[in-house]
A and B are shown apart, each in its own frame.
Chain A
Amino acid sequence: MTMTIATTIDEILSGLSQGARPIAGGTDLVVGSRQGKGTLPEHLIAIDRVSELAHIEVGAETTRIGSGVTHATLMTDPTIVASFTGVSDAAALVGSPATRNVGTIGGNVMNGSPAMDTGAPLVVLGAQAELASTSATRLVDLDELWVGPGRTSAADDELCTALVIPNRPESSGSAYVRLEYRRAMEIAIVGAAAAVTLDGDAISSVRVALTAVAPTIISVGGLDAVVGQPADEAALAAVSEASSEQAAPISDLRASDRYRRHMIGVMARRAVEAAARRASGETISVPVNRALGVGAQS
């Protein structure tokens, strides 16, 4: 077994084309190898020192978050907190400070867990993954990237180099809330993200995505009826009902399918409510879980 420490993207792509696998913080890969989920790859290429992967660039139409940006950065970076707050909410809930220092958004996305925290906020914000190989670079919608638990449509020689998010219109807000049993080193029991844009008091657009209730992160469809309505009790009830209906949860040691189906409705309602409050200009500190008393409290 070998590890090469890369300093450029070209070096990584060349390594991947020859069969090496990427490692950033190793918080999924190394732990997974000991839990019997898989073995460590024979050839690893460390990607955590490639500075081009660690940038956040705000463009005219999109913001590009390098795949090597850590959760610790996402939860405090002024651009992400101000414009893509749901991503910050999620990053702040990942693992512990130690996990957040080395764990990256690219790792979270490409690990493909249906319980990943940053996935649902990226979906509601319309993010695409930028995948690069020695021969091409392409943008992939996240619902086409994730094809099952722990599986993506990326080829073995492709590296996720960035997540690209359309810049948000005025009067927009986003949020991610998670049902959890403890405040650190937790995996979502269920989670929900929402992105809301307001026109006055009325919702002009709303997207909701759900964590840990299906083989991949899923978007909630059929929310057209709440567009044009204020984010009031009737709208929130409709979001809650649609979310519970469209969830396809499993039972496992952490929760039953019935409990997950019920609670995903509660989380979705709270996510939309928080996103709408943020869209109206209210500051709710990151993460929403702590600010609003959702999830485990100390």
Chain B
Amino acid sequence: MSTSNPQAVTLNVNGVPYPVAIDTSRTLSTVLRNELGLTGTKEGCDDCECGACMVLLDGRPINSCSYLAVQTQGREVTTVEGLASQDDLAPLQRNILAAGGVQCGFCTPGMLMSATALLDENPTPTEEEIRIGLSGNLCRCTGYARILDSVIQTSVEINS
């Protein structure tokens, strides 16, 4: 058994510094949801399989269910709450809604984070590159086609 001895750390999430005292064994997803109230990040499998917990660490996707929260200190975490501006959804969010890429919605935050990182790195991905980019995200509702469509549409908008 690990002894309970909280570490005081500051987590930077969506540009906001959050000073917290947390056990070292806490994963980022549980701290985001239960300490910071950022419940957009979902826990599906809690085993690095499903991608519902995907967040960005310095702009690159990680499974937050399997990443220790204290290890993110000094780095920037972006969650789904960080995508929209005050008044507007991000283009990818608008497009996934318009394409019908959201059904139960549980996978959606993770999909959005993976696709955001993909488009930041590669604004003109091929369909195969999109499939690889989203390969760590499971969806049991949509059959993926409409999610793919929304990423393609966003890519077209970025480049027009």
Indicate if B49 sits at the interface (CB-CB under 8 A).
yes
Given known contacts A26-B68, A39-B2, A42-B2, A184 and B135 CB-to-CB distance under 8 angstroms: yes
Contact of A185 among B3, B24, B118, B136 (CB under 8 A): B136
Indicate if A188 sits at the interface (CB-CB under 8 A).
no
Assembly CA distance A224 to B47 (angstroms): 44
Indicate if B103 sits at the interface (CB-CB under 8 A).
no
Residues of chain B at the chain A interface (Cβ within 8 Å):
1-3, 5, 7, 23-25, 27, 46-49, 51, 54, 57, 60-63, 66-68, 70-71, 73-74, 114, 117-118, 131-133, 135-137
Interface residues of A, count at CB 8 A: 32
Contact of A98 among B1, B3, B54 (CB under 8 A): B54
* Beta-carbon nearest neighbor of B135 in chain A: A184
* Beta-carbon nearest neighbor of B121 in chain A: A97
Segment touching B, from A29-37, A56-64, A120-128: A29-37
B2, A98: Cβ atoms closer than 8 Å: no
Indicate if A46 sits at the interface (CB-CB under 8 A).
yes
Assembly CA distance A34 to B7 (angstroms): 21
Segment touching B, from A1-9, A132-140, A226-234: A1-9
Assembly CA distance A140 to B5 (angstroms): 38
Indicate if A27 sits at the interface (CB-CB under 8 A).
yes
B131, A298: Cβ atoms closer than 8 Å: yes
Indicate if A95 sits at the interface (CB-CB under 8 A).
yes
Contact of B66 among A1, A30, A184, A298 (CB under 8 A): A30
User: Which chain A residues lie closer than 8 Å to B135 at the CB level?
Assistant: 96-97, 183-185
Residues of chain A at the chain B interface (Cβ within 8 Å):
1-3, 5, 23, 25-27, 30-31, 33-35, 39-40, 42, 44, 46, 48-49, 72, 95-99, 101-102, 183-185, 298
B2, A35: Cβ atoms closer than 8 Å: no
A77 to chain B, nearest CB (A): 16
14 further A-B contacts with Cβ under 8 Å, apart from A3-B68, A25-B62, A185-B49, are: A1-B24, A2-B7, A5-B74, A31-B48, A31-B66, A34-B66, A72-B60, A97-B133, A97-B136, A98-B63, A99-B136, A102-B67, A183-B135, A185-B136
User: Which chain A residues lie closer than 8 Å to B73 at the CB level?
Assistant: 5
User: Which chain A residues lie closer than 8 Å to B46 at the CB level?
Assistant: 34
Assembly CA distance A74 to B70 (angstroms): 27
A210 to chain B, nearest CB (A): 25
B24 to chain A, nearest CB (A): 4
* Beta-carbon nearest neighbor of A24 in chain B: B71
Given known contacts A5-B71, A5-B73, A46-B71, A99 and B63 CB-to-CB distance under 8 angstroms: yes
19 contacts between A and B (CB under 8 A): A1-B2, A25-B62, A25-B67, A27-B48, A35-B47, A39-B1, A40-B25, A42-B2, A72-B60, A96-B135, A97-B61, A98-B48, A98-B51, A98-B54, A98-B62, A98-B114, A99-B136, A101-B57, A101-B61
B23, A1: Cβ atoms closer than 8 Å: yes
Given known contacts A31-B47, A34-B46, A97-B135, A42 and B68 CB-to-CB distance under 8 angstroms: no
What 7 pairs across the A-B complex have the smallest Cβ distances?
A: A96-B136, A184-B135, A1-B2, A1-B24, A101-B60, A98-B61, A30-B66
User: Which chain A residues lie closer than 8 Å to B51 at the CB level?
Assistant: 96, 98
User: Which chain A residues lie closer than 8 Å to B60 at the CB level?
Assistant: 72, 97, 101
B66, A26: Cβ atoms closer than 8 Å: yes
B3, A95: Cβ atoms closer than 8 Å: no
Contact of A95 among B23, B48, B70, B74 (CB under 8 A): B48
User: Which chain B residues lie closer than 8 Å to A48 at the CB level?
Assistant: 71
